Amino acid sequence: MASSNKQLLDSKIARYLRPVETVLEADWSIEEALARLREKPLKTKILYFYVIDREGKLVGILPTRKFLLSYPSTKISDVMDKDFIRLDADSSVEKAMQIFVDERLLALPVVSSDSKFLGVIDVYVCIQEGFETPISHELSQDIFQLIGVSLEQKQLESSWVGFKSRMPWLVFNIIGGLACAALADYFEDVLARFLMLAMFIPLVLTLSESVSMQAMTMSLQSMHSGRLGWKGFFTRIWNEWRTVSLLGLVCGLGVGAASIFWEGGLHPSILIASSIYISMCCSALFGTLLPVGLHMVKLDPKLAAGPIVLMLADIFTTFVYLSLATLWLLS
């Protein structure tokens, strides 16, 4: 099985290309494209509609939803997606599989050196061809997962490679810890006068870190599920803020109420509740936005987002907690 997987990953994708029946021309209208598709029976499963120009060069991909919901007179070039992933014919199956794993796609268009559309590589066709006997749909999904694991393992064959890819991001955790220690030293007066504030620092930090990781996980899942667009992106931020705002309110009131039983009085309890609410809302914003920002600058958000989000959450929470304490309790 391992040998079979290795041979499959190292082979060229040209071996697994299949023709596409759902090819459209950019200067066609939606109505004309539908009429041309009806003229011929479609024998293969429709995954995507691929758009070419008059020279046969791949210029875009038309999502099925846009195809069906656009006005009949609309030009395909006006509604097609021009930003899409494509592969060269000499690319390896390993590269294709890595994109399948990272981007959650079912097929990838393949072009020649002069951008002529050659066909597509289908994840299931590729897997079927890699084995001598036919396999079921369920088994092919299992094999797809195994190939994904093989790709991950290949990247981590060298301990030094794993160290170099992960250590730079862990430095952010060290920076965050040192910054928090410096802040605690800077605000030592309020901590010395109100000892209960120091007792609640771990809890306040834990809540901020937890909600930032939850928001980051949701953001990564949204990125993998497909392109949201700017409208969907801002809707995602608004919905996350409302959820976290409610979480912060409940956690702040709960911890604030519990802190009254410590000898500090009402004011420190109100401060703790307020700090938890503010820090949780802002930490969730870090967790939502940072993976998107890292993806835009071509960095791996799965490795980088966690340490950076935790660093920002820790520093911001510590600063808010102790600065508000100084303003509220010592002024």
Rounded to an integer, what distance in angstroms lies between the CA atom of residue 176 and that of residue 63? Answer: 43
pTM above 0.75, yes or no: no
Q: Label residue 83 by pLDDT band (50, 70, 90).
A: confident
- SS3 call for 60: strand
End residue of a domain, out of 119, 154, 189 = 154
Place of tokens 């200067």: 27
Section 133-140 average pLDDT:
43
DSSP state of 14: G
For residue 221, what are the domain limits?
Answer: 158-329
* Per-residue pLDDT at 266: 84
End residue of a domain, out of 103, 129, 154 = 154
Based on the domain organization, do 129 and 175 belong to the same domain? no
Q: Label residue 97 by pLDDT band (50, 70, 90).
A: confident
Closest C-alpha among 214, 201, 7 to residue 97? 7
Based on the domain organization, do 136 and 171 belong to the same domain? no
* Per-residue pLDDT at 166: 73
Rounded to an integer, what distance in angstroms lies between the CA atom of residue 285 and that of residue 296? Answer: 17
* Per-residue pLDDT at 15: 79
Section 91-109 average pLDDT:
77
Residue with more model confidence, 326 or 291? 326
Q: Label residue 131 by pLDDT band (50, 70, 90).
A: very low
Based on the domain organization, do 101 and 169 belong to the same domain? no
Q: Quick one: 153 exposed, middle or buried, by C-beta within 10 A (0-12, 13-18, 19+)?
A: exposed
Q: What is the largest CA-CA distance in the chain?
A: 83
Based on the domain organization, do 115 and 250 belong to the same domain? no
Residue type, 236: R
Q: Report whether pLDDT(151) > 50.
A: no
pLDDT in tens, 198-227: 889 999 999 998 888 888 887 777 665 545
pLDDT in tens, 13-63: 777 788 888 899 999 999 999 988 888 777 777 778 899 999 999 999 988
Based on the domain organization, do 239 and 226 belong to the same domain? yes
Based on the domain organization, do 148 and 93 belong to the same domain? yes
Residue with more model confidence, 239 or 210? 210
Kindly provide the b/e burial profile for residues 156-179, where b requires at least 16 CB atoms within 10 angstroms of the residue's own CB: eeeeeeeeeeeeebeebeeebeeb
Q: Label residue 135 by pLDDT band (50, 70, 90).
A: very low
What's the CATH code of the domain at 279? 1.10.357.20
Rounded to an integer, what distance in angstroms lies between the CA atom of residue 109 and that of residue 8? Answer: 19
CB 117 within 8 A of CB 109: yes
Pick from 135-144, 276-285, 288-297: least confident? 135-144
Based on the domain organization, do 240 and 183 belong to the same domain? yes
CB 72 within 8 A of CB 31: yes
Calculate the alpha carbon distances from 51 to 14, 28, 67, 72 in Å. 20, 10, 12, 17
Handedness of CA 197, 199, 203, 208 (dihedral sign): positive
Based on the domain organization, do 232 and 245 belong to the same domain? yes
Question: What rounded mean pLDDT belongs to the chain?
Answer: 79
End residue of a domain, out of 154, 185, 206 = 154
Residue with more model confidence, 236 or 250? 250
Based on the domain organization, do 209 and 136 belong to the same domain? no
DSSP state of 106: S
Residue type, 157: E
Residue with more model confidence, 179 or 136? 179
* Per-residue pLDDT at 162: 67
Based on the domain organization, do 110 and 199 belong to the same domain? no
Distance of CA 256 to the CA centre of its chain: 34
Section 240-244 average pLDDT:
85
- Tokens standing for 89? 């014919």
Domain count, the chain: 2
